[in-house]
């Protein structure tokens, strides 16, 4: 059974702060190490919200663990409670090191495309042709052959867990400020996976509707990346359609790596090990477990049926 750690006595790490828009975050010391506590985000800004808070801490935990099961370097996460909320603690992989994170956003922002007439020129733009051009041509990225492999591994795994927000700010390089060397940062920020704004009633209803489950699993799923060309800006890619097209060889290789390494028995054991509750707080009720597993089983079946 997965332990739910009580972080209420973990002291705040003074002078340490974390950005981002996915909910409140705190820097705390736990077992003599720096951890980022991520709280669920309120849904009060949504139209007709079915729940008061997202289940993003749970999504972060499960998504990160699945990356780990696939052998992909990922940040360490712990499920816990703090201030009467279910939270996830993410170990700060730069603590007590000489490393500084350089987000892909900043690397892309420094990249000058040869075709300036067509290039957006912004680090936040996620047009796929611009992203791939940056990976293959930006000086710090093109020198590391693992970068394209990591990008496509994330593209495939994010499709499997339904993470639709692998934006340019939540992956990148670690720069060693002493040696000047750069290496890939571990995968982090997986909290937008698994429809974290769905209520249990919505999950239960969709579980009885195979058409709705197929829509959720792969038919209507989109990722953060957009179709190439500024004329198509705003049209986000359905990752399953893109993978099935087989138009990118590196993407197809990533799919084969995923199929080789995925072990659904381990994924099921992970989900089933999470308790339904911790005291009076719901952690992962049975309906939610069934919904998550059903989504992943449908997606895996879809992937295995692809002819690439």
Q: What is the pLDDT of residue 19?
A: 81
Average pLDDT, the chain: 92
The confidence score (pLDDT) of residue 276 equals 98
Give the CATH number for residue 106: 1.10.1070.20
Contact 78, 37 (CB under 8 A): no
Answer with the one of 144, 163, 184 that is the final residue of a domain: 184
Same domain? 39 vs 66: yes
Q: Are 59 and 53 in contact (CB under 8 A)?
A: no
Say if residue 31 is in the same domain as residue 66. yes
Q: Distance between CA 279 and CA 299 in Å, rounded?
A: 33
Total tally of structural domains belonging to the chain: 2
pLDDT one-digit tens code per residue, 193-251: 999 999 999 999 999 999 999 999 999 999 999 987 555 556 899 999 999 999 999 99
- Cα separation, 269 vs 261, in Å, equals 16
Domain with 199 in it: 5-96+192-305
Same domain as 65, residue 20: yes
Residue 228: predicted pLDDT: 72
pLDDT digits (tens, 9 = 90+) for 31-57: 999 999 999 987 665 555 677 578 999
Query: Residues 209, 263: one domain?
Result: yes
Identify whether residues 76 and 131 lie together within a single domain: no
Q: Between the CA of residue 12 and those of 8, 9, 60, 75, what are the distances in Å? A: 10, 9, 21, 20
Q: What pTM was computed for the model?
A: 0.94
Write down which residue in 184, 203, 229 finishes a domain: 184
Same domain? For 91 and 104 the reply is: no
Which one, of 226, 236, 240, 224, lies nearest residue 295 by Cα?
240
Domain end residue (candidates: 184, 205, 240): 184
Do 263 and 211 share a domain, yes or no? yes
């Amino acid at each position: 059974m997965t332990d739910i750690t009580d972080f209420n006595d973990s002291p705040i790490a003074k002078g340490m702060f974390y950005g981002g828009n996915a909910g409140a975050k705190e820097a705390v010391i736990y077992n003599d190490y720096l951890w980022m506590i991520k709280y669920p985000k309120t849904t009060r800004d949504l139209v007709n919200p079915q729940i008061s808070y997202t289940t993003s801490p749970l999504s972060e935990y499960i998504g990160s663990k699945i990356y780990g099961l696939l052998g992909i370097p990922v940040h360490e996460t712990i499920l816990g409670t703090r201030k009467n909320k279910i939270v996830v603690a993410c170990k700060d992989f730069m603590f007590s090191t000489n490393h500084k994170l350089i987000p892909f956003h900043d690397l892309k922002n420094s990249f000058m495309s040869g075709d300036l007439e067509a290039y957006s020129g912004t680090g936040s733009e996620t047009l796929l042709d611009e992203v791939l051009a940056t990976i293959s041509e930006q000086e710090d990225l093109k020198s590391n052959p693992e970068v394209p492999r990591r990008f496509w591994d994330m593209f495939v795994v994010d499709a499997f867990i339904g993470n639709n927000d692998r934006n340019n700010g939540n992956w990148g390089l670690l720069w060693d400020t002493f040696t000047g060397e750069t290496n890939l940062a571990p995968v982090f920020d997986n909290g937008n996976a698994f429809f974290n704004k769905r209520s249990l009633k919505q999950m239960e209803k969709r579980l009885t509707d195979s058409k709705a489950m197929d829509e959720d699993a792969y038919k209507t799923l989109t990722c953060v990346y957009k179709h190439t060309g500024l004329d198509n800006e705003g049209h986000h890619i359905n990752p399953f359609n893109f993978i099935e097209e087989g138009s990118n060889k590196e993407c197809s290789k990533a799919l084969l790596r995923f199929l080789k390494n995925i072990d659904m028995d381990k994924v099921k054991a992970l989900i089933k090990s999470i308790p339904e509750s911790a005291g009076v707080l719901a952690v992962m009720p049975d309906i939610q477990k069934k919904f998550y597993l059903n989504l992943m089983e449908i997606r895996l079946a879809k992937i295995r049926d692809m002819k690439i």
